[in-house]
Structure 1
Amino acid sequence: DSSGIPNGAEQNETISNDIIETLNNAANRKTLINQRMANMEFNIDTDEDEFEGKSVFISEFDLRFESTLLLTT
């Protein structure tokens, strides 16, 4: 807004972008590969709703990992 303070939608977008950046970080991806969780997919749904007369901004993160489990005998 004009005061320089981010509004709810901007804060929500900033947080969502930071999470995406963390998920896509090369070092974090390497860790997932080492944990046999390299096949990660994610989807982010954003929405706006009203709660007690105020606008709220929502991001839902759906994270999926396809893990390769090793069987040992």
Structure 2
Amino acid sequence: MGFWVTSLIFLLAGVIGALSLRLCCNRGPSTNLLHFTLVITATVCCWMMWAIVYLAQMYPLIVPILNEGE
């Protein structure tokens, strides 16, 4: 449940960021497209970083082995 809820939060943050940028910095069609692309790219990159770390902790590739002597 945590993965999907946080993914939805990232989606909402990206949409809110893109809409607020559209409302605050309306300079022209090409500049607006560049800003929109940068906001969406930053949101996707942050989500991917979070998802990789989250899934790496949920399903580790190397299982720790405890020694009896330590």
TM over 0.5: no
Larger fraction in strand:
1
Relative to the length of structure 1, the TM-score reads: 0.42
Larger radius of gyration: 2
Relative to the length of structure 2, the TM-score reads: 0.43
RCO higher in structure (CA 8 A, sep ≥6): 2
